[in-house]
Structures are given as C-alpha cells and as structure tokens.
Structure 1
Amino acid sequence: MDATPAPRAYGVDLRDHLVFPGLINAHDHLHVNAIPALGGHAPFPNSYAWIRAFQEHFQAPEVMAALRLPKALRMRHGALKNLLAGTTCVAHHDPWHPVLDEEDFPVALLRDYGWSYALGWPEYGPPVRESFAATPAEHPWLIHLAEGTDAVARAELAQLDQIGCLAGNSVLIHGVGLSSEDIERAIAQAAAVVWCPSSNLRLLGHTLDPRRLCAAGRLALGSDSRLSGARDLLDELAGAVDRYGLDPAQLLALVTTQAAHILRMPSRGHLQPGAVADLVVVEDLGGDPVRSLAGIARSQIRAVLRDGMPRIADPDFAEWFAVAGVDAVPVTLDGRPKLLASALADPALLALEPGLELAAGPCSDERVLVAASGGLG
C-alpha cells in the first residue's frame, strides 16, 4: 500500500479500531466446503483410511446432491467462506479451475506453486517426483504428508527425502506423524509445515506440537475444508488461543507474515508500503491487540477489504461502499446485520453458507446501491 494518501482520498474514522492485513489460509479445498462431513468413524490411523471410508459416503443422498452443484459455484462458496472470516488469500490444494481466474472471485489465491496430493494416493493429482522437479525452487511445492499417527504416516518424511523431494520449497500439509527428529530434519532443509489442528483432531484424534516449527519460522496455519476442519480460519485461530504453547502474536504470524514467507508471497501478510490493500478491521477490545482478532467470531469483524474495496462490513460503513462505488446489499451474518458486495450476493451462493442470508425487508431481493448517508458517526 502507498503510505501517502492520494488527492481526494476518502477518509475513514477508525478510532477505537485495529487494522490487520487480510489473513492467509495456507490450506483449503475450496470446492468441498458444502459437502456433508463423514461422521461416526474417527479417529482414523491415517488420512488414507479416511479416504477409503469416505468412498461409501459418496453414495449418501445428501452428498450426491451437494456434488451435483456446479463446481464453479462450490469453488466460489469455499472462497466466500474464507472472506467472511477475514481471509483474503487462500492456498487451494486441488486441480485448478477456470472460475479461479475470474475477476470477481471472492479471494486472492496462491498461484505460483507446484503440488502433489500425497505419497499414498498417487492416482489423484500430479505425480510426486515429476511435480517436484517441475516446480522452480523459488515457488512453494505442496503435499499432504504424515497425515496420521501410525507407522505409515510416520515413515513418509523419510520416503519424501529418499526420493529427493524434501527441500527449501517443500510445504508439508498436516505433519501429524512427524517425530521430533523429523521436524529437525525438515527445518534443516528449510522445509515448512501447514498445521490444521481442528482437522487433525477430528479425523486422527491428535495433532502435532507446533512450537519448534513455529520458533523456526517454518509453520503456517490452514483451516482445511469443512469436510474435516474448522468452519473457517478465524475459528481455527480461536481454537488455538491459549493452547499448544503459542502466544497470540505467534498465532497471528501463522496467518500473516509467516504464511506469506512460506508461500513466497512478499506483498501479503503485512501493512508495509507495497503490500496489497487487503485488510481486516476489528474493534479494539483493549489489552493484547492480537486478541481483538484471534478469538472473535466472524460476525464481530467490522469490515473486510479486498484490493482496497469493502466487501463485507457493518452497516455504519455504508458511506464507504458508496464512495468506493461498490454496489452492496443488506444481509445478516450469524444474526448480525452486514452489508455485502452485491457481486457476492448470488442467491445460489448465499444458500450454501449457513448463517448468511439476505436481510428481511422490501429491498432484500434486490441489488441496491448503498446510499452515502449516515456516514460513520
């Protein structure tokens, strides 16, 4: 961001507020966030056992109905889920889809990267060795690894290293089965891990100890999809506050500066000159400023901006939408009134997100331009 206000720039009174960079979700599968989760089987010894159990779940009527929805719509829903919780950039760990390139896609995406799915599931995604070799060293290379507590998961880091795919750009998703020796081995290679504790605990009954990786700057946080993980990254942060031996500032780094460094996105995760203008505005609750973000519900966020434009905000920011020329509609988010950019208010999209709906009233079914009235008080 340019620190010098432009002529005729619009001023927003944010006294008693805090401004954070847009959060970075280092791991999600955007297209499956509306798919009903598998219940009644956990804990699994590893993710491969979960995948096998899920095959029968695909035949459930509610799963089949969800999968019949267009993938583009499901991708947009996964992105909207993230945006509502202050996440403006996501690492999507699946094949690319044309909708991800649309100008009005709700979030920014990690783009310069390589990926494979997992060592034990070679039939899905790019082949491991070929994908790693084709990924430039300056770009991150993502793979699910050691996602389990059994011998299969515990052996995977050594296997990855043996085939020459453990390096400074290797980003290992989950890492639950990593031993302390494995963690030191990964750090020595400058590899990194994406930690998804809610997903780990739900599927495996266990998650990794994040302290050593965090201290080395080699840890980021991901929500995973709702198939197994938290509702969103903000809920993931709230669940980790005062747990796992990490203080609030360390947790914030996992979704801002540290995530940006690991994913090689120098213009994200901070508020210094040159950063993208993706912002999260919250009320200053006093005390440790990070706790004004880490620990709140998504409905408590005052505003989320993408590229300097408000996308969802409290109604008293109506003038901000109007001055920015952003068409918006009134909605409720978990029972609280909000304004949502109308480009995100497709009824089919809103129908997929529990807790988000058009506000009741005579204009609730129309796309309206929020009038520049009332201001910010």
Structure 2
Amino acid sequence: MDALPARAHTNLRHAATVTPVGATRTSVSIGAGRIESTPTPGAYRVDLRDHLIFPGLINAHDHLHVNAVPALHAEAPFPNSYAWISAFQAHFQDAQVMAALQLPKALRLRHGALKNLLAGITCVAHHDPWHPVLDAEDFPVALLRDYGWSYALGWPGYGPPPLESFAATPADQPWLIHLAEGTDAVACAELAQLDQLGCLASNSVLIHGVGLSSRDIERVIAQAAAVVWCPSSNLNLLGRTLDPRRLCAAGRLALGSDSRLSGARDLLEELAGTLDRYELDPSQLLALVTTQAAHILRMPSRGHLQPGAAADLVVVEDLGGDPVRSLVGIERSRIRAVVRDGMPRIADPDFAEWFAAAGVDTVLVRLDGSPKLLARALAEPALLALEPGLECAAAAGSVEHELAAASGSYR
C-alpha cells in the first residue's frame, strides 16, 4: 500500500493558477508535500496546458462518520435542530439506519473523507470527537487539528460543555459550536446566551446561524467571530437559511456541507447550489472554501498557492470565460485530478504516468460513469461500496479496454 510520505518532486507546467483574486499563468513546483518557490532540477514534469490549478478546497463543517446514514424525511420544516434530533430518535429503529451505524466507525470516517476528496476537498473540519483512524497516514483528507469545540448550547449530553471547552481553547485556535440552527425563539436567542457566557470572541466559529438577526450578525462581525454557512442542510431541515452577504463581505463566512445526513452530496454540489443565488459572485464563493475558510479556521498553510502552502490542489480543464466557473458549479466527475500532500490521489487515466512517477499504485474505478485512477490505498472494497457512483471498473469489464477508451477520450 502506498504511503503519503513517498513525496516526489513535481513541476506542473503551463497551467493557470486560480484563487479568489484572479488567475495567473505560472508553473507550480511541489516538493516534500509543499509548494516550492522554484522547481527542483530533475523534477517530474506534468504538462497542464489548457488547465487550471485551484487550491484544494476546505470543507469548514462536516460530520464524516454519518455520510452513509439515510436521511430523515419530514413533511414540514423543523423549528430548530433540537426538534430534528428528537425526531431522529425513532429513525434509529429504521433497518437501513441500523445497518449503516453497525459498520465500523473507522470505515465510516474514511468514507466521509473519501466523499470529500472525490469532490476536490482536501481539508475538512470534522465536528465530532476525535478517533484514532483520523491520524492514519493514508487518511484521505487533511483535517483541522488545532481547535476546540462544543456541540450546541441546547444539547449538553454530547461533546464538551461550552463554557469549559471555550475556556480551554487557546485564543489563537478556532472554537466551534452549532448555534442558532433554527427559526424559532429558541434558536434566535442563542447568540445572546453565548455572549452572556463570555464565549463570543474572535476565535468563535458559529455553525449555521440561521436564527441570527441583522443585529446579531453585526455583533458577530464586531467581535471578529465567524459563521459557517451550510445552506442545503438549513433548507432541508429548517426551510430557510441565513442571508450570507454581510458576513461574506466582512470576511467572516465559510462554507460547509454538514454531511449527507442533512446536507448536499458534497461541497462541490453545495457550491453549485449557491451559484447565481444569494447575490454572491463565483470569486466570493471560491473564497468561502479557500482563503476565507483558511483564515477563519486559522490554517495559514491552506487555501492558497504561495510557496510554503500545503501541496493540496484541484486540476480542471479551462472551460473559458470566468476561470472560477471552471470549478465552481461543475460535476465531480469532470475534475481532472485531485492532489493531496503533493501526490495525485484520484485523476483521469491519462495521468497514469504521474501516479507512477510519484510511486502511487492505482486502481481503475468509475466515478459517476467516468473512468478514473484512484490511489490503491483508498480503494478497499468496503470503502468503495459505501460511495454511490463509485465502483471498481475491473469488476464490470476489462481494465485494458477501459484504459484504452479513457485515453482516447482525452487526446
């Protein structure tokens, strides 16, 4: 099984790099899992003309271990998340839910991470207790590690108590809590409660914030706190989401997917759902999953492509026009390559030589019908079986035939 530390020096040539501030025609040099200022002599070269390179995306909120759990379908919106949690207790008796939760937690966590990686997300803020598998060398994505958290003000039985957790979190690390996840008086009162506890500060990261009033939002901005916006989850559970414009303009907003239990399939689908809505332009949306997310979560080596940054990248074809739209709004099967820690992890088959040069053994798979090469370390059968739209190509036909067809399609 290949391991991430086998880092090869690579020079990605003739592409344009894209960040929220624009596109620049340049080469990207990779060594020791980081972006370097100059290419290493003799580095393996990848010709990416007519392609765009984006920073690996950051999912600012996910519950990785529940992405294979069937969602609870309700006839009407819930007034708040506590009502949804209460209704879900009966859903635990559903045969499909029980079967999903009987799977090993380590496998479910890896599945949630793989779901993210397939959509170009290379770093995730996992809002739940830590598990040893999250420290595995071949875990599919990077994780937010230096932080504090509590679950919610109104759900004291799960996770660290808010006041105790906040006090134990260093001021230079983010502190995460679900807050104002609802539309009723209970949710709308939570920011004031948090403030009264003394837990609203510049490192406070509030998840959802649907019940925040305009005055509340100004209070959040004044304290230099931030909100993670999960619109699909909000609309599915509550029938409403917050107006993101003021927080976004102030640089105090990031985007999260909140897992498939309530939210979108992945962050890429979340971006597509917000495109041309909410009066946010594509560059602002890109910032929510790169530069702004990295700033809010205190991760200075992520969300950008400057020397010293983690070499986590997303490569797509240049579709012309606004370069950001070449990524924001596309389907995950159209991503050409996802690079994690300087190594290709999933890519189109015509990048086979890149995998070989990096020492990454691969398996041919199909992702939503499109052939891909996936790092063998991420292709255990039990893991593939959990992800809809992902299957081992060899199980349904000749590998040689699949590779030949795929190679021809990208000439």
* TM-score grouping bracket, smaller chain normalisation: over 0.9
Residues 319-345 of structure 1, C-alpha deviations (whole Å, 9 max, x = no match) = 111111100010000000000000000
- 2:45 aligns to what? 11
Matched, 1:140 2:140: no
1:217 corresponds to which residue? 251
Q: In the alignment, what sits opposite 1:361?
A: 397
Equivalent residue for 1:234, pick from 264, 268, 279:
268
Question: Residue 339 of structure 1 aligns with which residue?
Answer: 373
2:130 is aligned with 1:99: no
Give the match's secondary structure for 1:340. Answer: strand
Q: Pick from 66, 70, 95: which aligns with 1:32?
A: 66
Identity fraction in percent:
85
Quick one: which amino acid aligns to residue 161 of structure 1? D
**What amino acid sits opposite 1:154 in the alignment?**
C
Partner of 2:79: 45
Aligned twin of 1:367: none
Which SS does the other structure have where 1:11 is aligned?
strand
Match of 1:71 among 105, 108, 124: 105
Q: CA deviation at 1:258?
A: 0.3
Task: Verify: 1:151 aligned to 2:179, yes or no.
Answer: no
**Contact between 1:138 and 1:264, CA under 8 Å: does it hold in 2?**
yes
Q: Quote how far apart the aligned CAs of 1:8 are.
A: 1.2
In structure 1, give the amino acid aligned to 2:231: P
Question: Which residue of structure 2 aligns with residue 113 of structure 1?
Answer: 147
Amino acid across the alignment from 2:204? S
Match in the other structure for 2:20: none
1:298 aligns with 2:332: yes
Check conservation: 1:42, 1:202, Cα contact below 8 A.
no
Which residue type is aligned with residue 115 of structure 1? W
**Which whole-Å deviations, capped at 9, do the CAs of 1:188-235 have from their partners, x for residues lacking one?**
000000000000000000000000000000000000110000000000
Equivalent residue for 2:288, pick from 224, 241, 254: 254
Q: Which amino acid aligns with 1:123?
A: G
- Residue 361 of structure 1 deviates from its aligned partner by 2.8
Distance of 1:321 and 1:311 partners within structure 2: 8
Using the TM superposition, name which of 136-145 and 316-325 deviates more.
Answer: 316-325
Report the Cα offset of residue 363 of structure 1: 5.2
Identify the match of residue 114 of structure 2 among 80, 83, 89. 80
Q: Which amino acid aligns with 1:262?
A: I
Q: Secondary structure at the match of 1:281?
A: strand
Cα distance in structure 2, aligned partners of 1:88 and 1:123: 31
The letter for the 2-side match of 1:202 is N
| CA deviation vs aligned residue, 1:10-61 (integer Å, no higher than 9, x gap) | 1111111000000000000000000000013441000000000000000111
2:206 corresponds to which residue? 172
Tell me the distance in 2 between the aligned counterparts of 1:52 and 1:123: 13
Q: Secondary structure at the match of 1:332?
A: strand
Give a deviation string over 1:301-326, Cα, whole Å, max 9, x none.
Answer: 00000011000000111111111110
State how far apart, in whole Å, the 2-side matches of 1:76 and 1:30 are. 8
Structure 2 CA distance, aligned partners of 1:187 and 1:278?
30
> Deviations along 1:85-126, whole A, 9 cap, x unmatched?
000000000000000000000000000000000000011000
Q: Secondary structure at the match of 2:36?
A: coil
Partners of 1:355 and 1:86 in 2: how far apart? Answer: 16
Q: Residue 386 of structure 2: SS of its match in structure 1?
A: coil
Report the secondary structure of 2:287's partner residue.
helix
Partner of 2:345: 311
Give the Cα–Cα distance (whole angstroms) in 2 for the partners of residues 363 and 189 of structure 1: 56
**Counterpart residue identity of residue 24, structure 1:** I
Provide the C-alpha distance between the structure 2 equivalents of 1:102 and 1:308, rounded to a whole number of angstroms: 17
Cα distance in structure 1, aligned partners of 2:399 and 2:103: 27
TM-score in terms of structure 2 length = 0.88
Note the C-alpha offset of 1:163.
0.5
Letter in structure 2 aligned against 1:149 = T
Provide the aligned C-alpha RMSD in A: 1.2
Correspondence 1:243 to 2:277: yes
Q: Which runs of 4+ in 1 moved over 3 A?
A: none
Structure 1 position 7, deviation (Å): 1.8
State TM-score, norm by structure 1.
Answer: 0.96
Gaps of 5+ in 2: 1-34, 401-406
How many angstroms apart in 2 are the aligned matches of 1:122 and 1:172?
Answer: 16
Name the SS of the counterpart of 1:351 in structure 2: helix
Q: Say whether 1:263 aligns with 2:293.
A: no
